[in-house]
Each structure stands twice: as C-alpha cells, then as structure tokens.
Structure 1
Amino acid sequence: MQTYPKVNLSLNYTDQVINIMDEGLDLSIRVGWLEDSSLMARKIGESRRFLVASSKYASKHQPPTHPNDLKQWDWVHFSMRGSTVDFTSQNGEVVCICEKSRVNVNSALAISHFVSENLGLGILPENLVKKQLAREEFIHILPNWQLKPLGYYAVWPNNARRENLTLLLVRFLAKRGLITAED
C-alpha cells in the first residue's frame, strides 16, 4: 500500500477454501497444496511445518525418537487434511502414521490454541509457532524428522487483464517473498 497509495484493500481471513468467483474476489492466497483448477496460480512462498506440543503435554510422555512412538499421543487435527502424516528422516526414510485425534478444528490458530491448552500434538507452520518455541511454551517434537512444507499460492481468475492491480499484487508478493519465518 505504500508503493501504491491510491490502492485500497479489503481482506477476508479464513482457513476455509472458498470459491473466489462466487465471492467476487480478485485474489486468494491459498496455503497448502493446490488441486487442479481453472484459476491462475503462482507460488509466492513456502513454510516449514513443525509437529509441536505444549511443554506440559510433552512432559507427560516419554520423549519420542521415531514417528511410531507417537501412536498413543493425542492430536489436534486440522479437519481440512487427511488424518495420516508422512515423516521423512534425515536419511530419506518415510514413515506414515495415523493421528489419534480427540479434537478436530478448521483453523490453524485453533490448533495452536488447543495445543497450548495441553490437549495434544499439532502440526503448524513455522511462522505460527516461532515465538512459543523460543519461549519454550511449545516443544518441537521429532525435530530430526521433516514434514512436507506448505506452499503459499496466489490464485486469481484467468480472465484478469495482464497489467491490472491483481497481477501487480501477485508480482509484488512473489518478488517480496510473502511468507518468511519472521512473519
């Protein structure tokens, strides 16, 4: 907005996938992995995902060394993705486990809240847990195992004109790098 002072933004925050055509939106920032669509899309960032638990919840369990050690832990499940989780070790071993969830939510902020309330493990983007990890409120569980990173995508209708404000914003976000660990 500093670069384009005459531009006004109207923002709608939701973790739900919405039909931007039906909602009359010019642009959507989608987090995750895109499915085939008639919309235009451009990757504008990426974020690591961490498996976390509150320090109090983690202290009630034996520290895990392998994903299979988590089978008896409770999970706070993000309802918009499947209940299986793939972990990749540093040597390339892939292990798939099924979450045992007692809480299902449709918001990343809700996952963070219920994890902080000691209700189980949660998978969250690095930028949403950085402060809690630094304050040792959250523990990064199995830090030597990686989860598939989240992609951040700008998505817009394919009838957008080449130099309109939507495409200028997409280019700006892609050039700037929308998501970083500091966000």
Structure 2
Amino acid sequence: MSAALPDHATMAERVPVNSVVDISNEPAGALTVTLPAFMAGSPYEQAIGDFAVQHRAVAITVRYLDRNFDLESKGIDLALRLGELPDSALRSRWLGSFGRKLVCAPSYLDTFPDMTRPYDLKTAEFVSMEGLSDQVVLVKGREEKSLYTNRGRVRVDNFAALRSALRAGLGVQRLPASVANPELEIGTLVELIPDWSIPNLGTYGVWPDTSRRSSLTRLLIDHIVNKT
C-alpha cells in the first residue's frame, strides 16, 4: 500500500526515510511499516490507510509478516508486535490488546472426548508456530493454570498456515479471536475447554531508538493511537 502526491514525488525520493520536511506545512517522506498478517482489515491497518490519505506527500510501504526481525537492518521504521516485548534498544508504545481462543477441528476433538480440564491438554498435539511460546496459560476467575505444550509433527510460520493446519485436524493451538471466531461460527473449528480463557496479549508499536519525536514514525504512531 503506498500513497504520494505526484507533485511531490521527486522531492519525496530525495527525503531520507523516516524524516519530515516542510512542504506547505505538510509532512513528506517515506515510511516502511510491518504488522502481523492477520491484522489485514483490522483497525490498525485502517488507521495506517487513513494516515496515507491525510498525508499525500508521504509514501508508505506496508509489509505483512508474522515473525520478528531486526528493524534497523531491514529498514523498518515501525513494527506492530504482539505479546511481551524483550528488552532492547527499540522504543515502544502500547496500542491495545487482542483476545485469543484455544481451538481445534471437530475431528481432532473426537479423538480426545474427555478433554475438559487444562491438565488434559498435556496429551494433545499442539501445532507449533514460529514465535509462539510453548507455554499455555489459562485463567478461570482468579484461578490460573500454566503448562508446556506437547509439540506436534507440524510447524508453521504464520497464522494463516496455522489456521489451515488446525482445520485439517492436525492438532490444537491458540488463534487470535479475529481469526478464530469466523471458523467457530461455521463449525470448522471448536473451542477447547471454554470454561477457561486465554489471557489477552498486548499490541505494541516498536521503532528504532534513532527516531525523533517529530519524525514521521512518531506522527504515524500518534495517528494510530487516536484512530484505534
């Protein structure tokens, strides 16, 4: 997704990435942003699109990736990331949270008809996903249970592939609620141990510490916060 005014195209090309210049008091330049692929169509994506519409002299490249990598070496100005953030030189800002569901295919559940308690998950095969912790935490009121999963035979690197593997009956795993709910509605997936829930994960905007407060990165972060 990109947006730029034709009149400013040449100037935008001369502006260093992640900078702001004054063209009739309008920001201009270029940004590269990444967000998890399952966020396509989300309010975060819509906020980025709205930013591009409002600032026609800003060129934006959006990459949809479900894995983390070094931002500076890849030329990424802003990344939307999930869960707890490791200590690093990156700046970060909390943007919100998202729900998750522990799910599997009905055919897989048929092989474990007595799976009604968190402890029962120890016998289940979990579809592994790159970047997804093997530790599963479930809560019920003030009670909390934590266990380490039994890795299955299948490993994937994005949520779309994870959803497909679960639908095929290859095991169980947590999915973002926005991905799981449509499948639950049509019955291709079922929720496991629904009396217990998976804690929400935080969504954060992270960017290299070299960014200035007046930069395009900061301007975009503020816009996302205001729109979501």
Would the aligned equivalents of 1:32 and 1:150 in 2 still touch at CA under 8 Å? Answer: yes
Q: Of the two, which has the highest radius of gyration? A: 2
In structure 2, C-alpha distance between the alignment counterparts of 1:145 and 1:4, rounded to whole Å = 45
2:198 to 144, 147, 162: 147
SS at 1:9 equivalent: strand
Would the aligned equivalents of 2:118 and 2:145 in 1 still touch at CA under 8 Å? Answer: no
Q: Does 1:102 align with 2:130?
A: no
Q: TM-score, normalised by structure 2?
A: 0.71
Match of 1:32 in 2: 83
Letter in 2 for 1:27: L
Letter in 2 for 1:109: A
SS at 1:81 equivalent: coil
Letter in 2 for 1:157: P
Would the aligned equivalents of 1:90 and 1:144 in 2 still touch at CA under 8 Å? Answer: no
By percentage of residues, which structure has more strand? 2
Gaps of 5+ in 1: 178-183
How many percent of aligned residue pairs carry the same amino acid?
A: 28
Query: C-alpha root-mean-square deviation of aligned residues, in Å?
Result: 1.7
SS at 2:163 equivalent: helix
Q: Pick closer, same or farther for the CA change 1:16–1:100 going to 2, 3 Å.
A: closer
In structure 2, C-alpha distance between the alignment counterparts of 1:31 and 1:141, rounded to whole Å = 22
Deviation beyond 6 Å, 4+ runs, structure 1: none
Aligned-pair CA distance for 1:96: 2.1
In structure 2, C-alpha distance between the alignment counterparts of 1:43 and 1:162, rounded to whole Å = 16
2:73 to 13, 17, 22: 22
Match of 2:104 in 1: 53
Gaps of 5+ in 2: 1-51
Aligned-pair CA distance for 1:26: 1.0
Match of 2:54 in 1: 3
Match of 1:180 in 2: none
Larger relative contact order (Cα-Cα within 8 Å, sequence gap ≥ 6):
1
Aligned-pair CA distance for 1:72: 2.1
Aligned-pair CA distance for 1:97: 4.0
By percentage of residues, which structure has more helix? 2
SS at 1:28 equivalent: strand
